[in-house]
Structures are given as C-alpha cells and as structure tokens.
Structure 1
Amino acid sequence: MCQLLGMNCNVPTDICFSFSGFQARGGATDVHADGWGIAFFEGRGTRLFLDPQPSASSPVAELVSHYPIRSKNVIAHIRKATQGSIKLENTHPFMRELWGRYWIFAHNGNLLDFTPALDGSFVPVGNTDSERAFCWLLQSFRQRFGDHMPDDAALFDALHELTLGIAAHGEFNFLLSNGDCLLVHASTRLSYIVRQAPFAKAHLNDQDITVDFSEVTTAHDRVAVIATLPLTDNEAWTTMPPGTLWRFAEGNVEAQRVTRPGPPRN
C-alpha cells in the first residue's frame, strides 16, 4: 500500500524536515517505489510536483526536500501500485478545480468494484481507483451544492456521508484539501502530531536528522502533521482510530466523525 503525508498550519511553514524522512520511505527504508508527489497551497495557487520514479532516488524529490516552500496546507504521497500502471498520470496527488478553488487529493488503499457513474464534469485521466473516487467526490459535491461552495460544517457533513459509501468498497485512507483546511480519513492506519509551544527537538525515524523547532518557530506557531506511520522516534504521535474522519484547520483538530461503511454506492 501507499503512504500519506499531510501538514496543516496556522502560519505558512515549510515541510522540509518531515518530507526528508517521508522521501526515504519511497524505495530506501520502505518498498513504496512506484512514484511520489507533493502539493503545496499558496493562497489560491498550488505548486504540484509529481514523479513516477522512486522518491528516495528522485532528483525532483531531492530538490523539494531542500526547497523551503512555505504553505498552510500540504499533501504528499508515495506510491506502491495496486490499481493502475506506474505512469505519471497515475501518480498522486491529483488536482481538480471546483468552485473556483483547486482541490488536492491523495489516497492510500484499494477500492474493489468501485465503478461509480460519472457525468463528465470530472473525468479520470489515469486508471486508478483513487482518481476515480476523487472525481466522484467532487461530482457529488457539485450535484449537492450547485455552483457555490457550502460552509465548513455542511461540506464536512457531506464528505462524511460520501465517505461511508466509498469506504464500503475497501481501504480508503485519504487526504483532501482546497487550501482552507485539511480533511483526513483514517480507514485503517494514520497518525498525527500537533507541534506547538513549547517546541522541542525532533529526530526522524528514516534518516539521522534532528531539528530543534524552538530555533525555527515562534511561540504562536502551530503545526499539525499527519502520516501513515510516525515520522519521528522521540515524539508522542496520536494514532487515529480506524473509521474516523477529521478536519484540521489552523494547525488544530476542528472536527471529527466516525465512519462506518454502509452498503456499496454507485
């Protein structure tokens, strides 16, 4: 299966430290060698880097790990292919426009017999179950809310309902964002940590790198990091219970709902 990495902050922050550990899992310390990608929101714009090569040996990933792009919402993915060939068009994260905003989506899992009817408003470019699920989610949002983006609570309620149907088809860990917040579904395995004052040192699991966050932050900073497996070995990460949907905003958990798969929906 793939691995996910997300970051949500109250101030624009770079993800170089976390990404350095995450990058190693793409073919060095783990077997996820079928491509990688990362998306950074900057205002309403998005920087998206994709490469079907292993992240551990990708020159593009090496650039990103040393490029201090500051963002309040970041989504990254390293792939171990289940459905879909190893090609650029099947590399996560995926991006689409809805309501004048870019949406970014990445998925870890495997959805069986998930063949929803798509009306043409959002069409997969590749042939993964992940991109198909993303297109159906956005199509369902548009069908439900029309041409105007709903408020946060209504959107979260709709995503909760839609996630129930998709999760009935299999493992559906995902990260979703439009730049305002980070929406996270823990189908089987995800963990998170919220870093805030007083900041301390952190050491990566996958590389011998340590950073003292007290030297690179202010007392007002707050950063939530979400990963399939904890990235550091000296911090207390919280395991997300399987079957839970989360909304992170301004570096904090703002909402949480339980998801229990219902009958398959097409």
Structure 2
Amino acid sequence: MCELLAMSANTPTDLCFSFTGLTRRGGDTGPHKDGWGVAFYEGKGVRAFHDAESSANSRIAEVVQTHPIKSEVAICHIRQANVGEICLANTHPFMRELWGRYWVFAHNGQLSAFQSSPGFYEPVGTTDSEALFCDILNHLRTHCDRNTGTDDVVDRLVRLSSAYASQGVFNLLLSNGDWLFTYCTTKMASITRRAPFGPARLKDADVAVDFESETTPDDIVSVIVTEPLTTDEKWDVYHPGEWRLWRKGEVVRSGVAEPNA
C-alpha cells in the first residue's frame, strides 16, 4: 500500500518537517519506493513535484525538504506499486482543471476490478487511482456546475467514496485549493497544531522541531497522514468509513459513510 500526507493551514506554511519524515518511508524505513509526488497550492496555482524514483534517494525530494515552500493546502503521496508500471505518469498526486480551479487527488488502496465510466476526463497512466480521479471529476462535471455549493459537492463526494470503498481499499485526499476532502477505509490519522505550540520529533528520521519558534499564536496547522509521523504527539485516528472536510486547518464538516453493500 502507498502512504498519504496532506496539510491544511490557516496561513501559508511549509511542509518540510512532515515531508522529511514521509520521504524516509519511501525506500528507507518503509517499502514505498516506486515513486512519489507532492503538490502545493499557491493561490489558484499549484507547484508540483513528481519523481518515479524512491523518495528516500531522490535529489528532487531533497530540494523539497530543504526549500520552505509555503502553502495553505498541500497533498503528498509515496507509492508502493500494485496496479500500473513504475513510471512518472503513474505517480500521484494527479491534477486536473475543473471550473477554473486545479483539483489535486491522491489515493491509497486498490480497486482492482474498478471500471470508470466514459467521460471528458481520461487517465494518462495505467493506475486504478487515476481512473478513480477521472471518474469523480466526470461525475461532478455531469451533475454539478461552478455555482453548486460546497455542501452539495461534498455530499456527492461522500456518496461516491462510499460506493468506491465497497469495491476495495479507498483512502482519499482531494482538494480544489479552497478545501481538503479526506476519506478513510483502513488507515488515516490527523493532528491539529495550534497555540500553545510545543516540540515534536519524527519517527523515521532523527529530526526534531520546536513549533513555537516557527509559528505565531494565531497559526492553525493540521496534518493528515496514513500513519502518524511523530513519536511524542497524540494523533487523532480516523474510523473506517469516516470522512472529514478541512478548511484553514479546521474540520468544517465530518461524518461516517460505510461502504455501500
């Protein structure tokens, strides 16, 4: 299985600390060596990096670890291939434009029998994940428009996620830059850091940070992962079927949608 990482913050924040921990799992402390990618929203634009090499040995990943790219929403993925060859076209996160915004998607799991419906969006690579992403966007393009409210869009995403989860493992990160939608069938956890900030130490690298020296009292930064990244913080573990909508570092909607029978 792959591993996911996302961030939602109320102020532009860098992902260097969490990204450093995750990259060690890509071929060093973990088996997810079949490529990696990360996307940072900057306003309506997206700064994205992808590599088909393992993140633990990637020079591009080194640049991202040490260059403090600041964003309010970021999505990252390290891959352990199960469907589709190891190549750049099959590395997450995937990105498409819909209604004048870039949508970014990453998936952990496998739906080996999934068949997407024909539509405007088509996958470039050969993963079931990208086919799922295209299926989601085709559904939204057909049943919604740019004036559809966020609640209605999210309600459709919840129903779609429940349907996909009935076909296999479906852990999801999806954002349009304004909000971040997450859905869990097996493993997902989150942490929200706010004042008073304290120190934290990574599990997978000998790296620690004192967030008090890196933040202001008004900052709210949430990190969502497959497996907790630190050893000395309390992470909030998702329940199977749980979904959460994040905006500006806070959960603004949540619920449980069991896989459809």
Q: TM-score, normalised by structure 1?
A: 0.97
Query: Contact 1:172 / 1:186 at 8 angstroms: preserved in 2?
Result: yes
Which residue identity is paired with 1:84?
Answer: G
1:234 aligned residue: 232
SS state at 1:150 partner:
coil
Q: 1:116, CA displacement in angstroms?
A: 2.1
1:140 aligned residue: 139
Return the match for 2:241 from 234, 240, 243: 243
2:160 aligned residue: 162
What is the rounded CA distance, in whole Å, between the counterparts of 2:165 and 2:118 in structure 1? Answer: 18
Query: Contact 2:16 / 2:65 at 8 angstroms: preserved in 1?
Result: yes
Partner deviation per Cα, 1:101-123 (whole Å, 9 max, x = no partner): 0000000000031102122x100
SS state at 1:118 partner:
coil
2:64 aligned residue: 64
1:100 aligned residue: 100
What is the rounded CA distance, in whole Å, between the counterparts of 2:64 and 2:181 in structure 1? Answer: 23
What is the rounded CA distance, in whole Å, between the counterparts of 1:110 and 1:8 in structure 2? Answer: 25
What is the rounded CA distance, in whole Å, between the counterparts of 2:63 and 2:226 in structure 1? Answer: 23
Q: 1:23, CA displacement in angstroms?
A: 0.6
Residues 1:224 and 2:190 are matched in the alignment: no
Structure 2: unaligned runs, 5 residues or longer: none
Q: 1:258, CA displacement in angstroms?
A: 1.1
Return the match for 1:186 from 184, 200, 203: 184
1:21 aligned residue: 21
SS state at 2:192 partner:
strand
1:122 aligned residue: 121
Q: TM-score, normalised by structure 2?
A: 0.99
SS state at 1:102 partner:
strand
What is the rounded CA distance, in whole Å, between the counterparts of 1:151 and 1:181 in structure 2? Answer: 12
Structure 1: unaligned runs, 5 residues or longer: none
Partner deviation per Cα, 1:35-81 (whole Å, 9 max, x = no partner): 00000000000011000000000000000000100000000000000
What is the rounded CA distance, in whole Å, between the counterparts of 1:186 and 1:166 in structure 2? Answer: 11
Aligned residues: 261
What is the rounded CA distance, in whole Å, between the counterparts of 1:215 and 1:67 in structure 2? Answer: 18
Return the match for 2:254 from 246, 253, 256: 256
Cα RMSD for the two superposed structures? 0.8
Q: 1:149, CA displacement in angstroms?
A: 4.3
Q: Stretches of 4+ moved more than 3 A in 1?
A: none
SS state at 2:122 partner:
coil
Q: 1:235, CA displacement in angstroms?
A: 0.3
User: What is the identity percentage for the equivalent residue pairs of Structure 1 and Structure 2?
Assistant: 48
Which residue identity is paired with 1:199?
Answer: F
2:91 aligned residue: 91
SS state at 1:256 partner:
strand
Query: Contact 2:103 / 2:176 at 8 angstroms: preserved in 1?
Result: yes
What is the rounded CA distance, in whole Å, between the counterparts of 2:74 and 2:81 in structure 1? Answer: 22
What is the rounded CA distance, in whole Å, between the counterparts of 1:90 and 1:116 in structure 2? Answer: 17
What is the rounded CA distance, in whole Å, between the counterparts of 1:144 and 1:227 in structure 2? Answer: 30
Return the match for 2:213 from 209, 212, 215: 215
Which residue identity is paired with 2:144?
Answer: F
Query: Contact 2:189 / 2:224 at 8 angstroms: preserved in 1?
Result: yes
SS state at 1:133 partner:
helix
Query: Contact 2:240 / 2:258 at 8 angstroms: preserved in 1?
Result: no
Query: Contact 1:83 / 1:128 at 8 angstroms: preserved in 2?
Result: yes
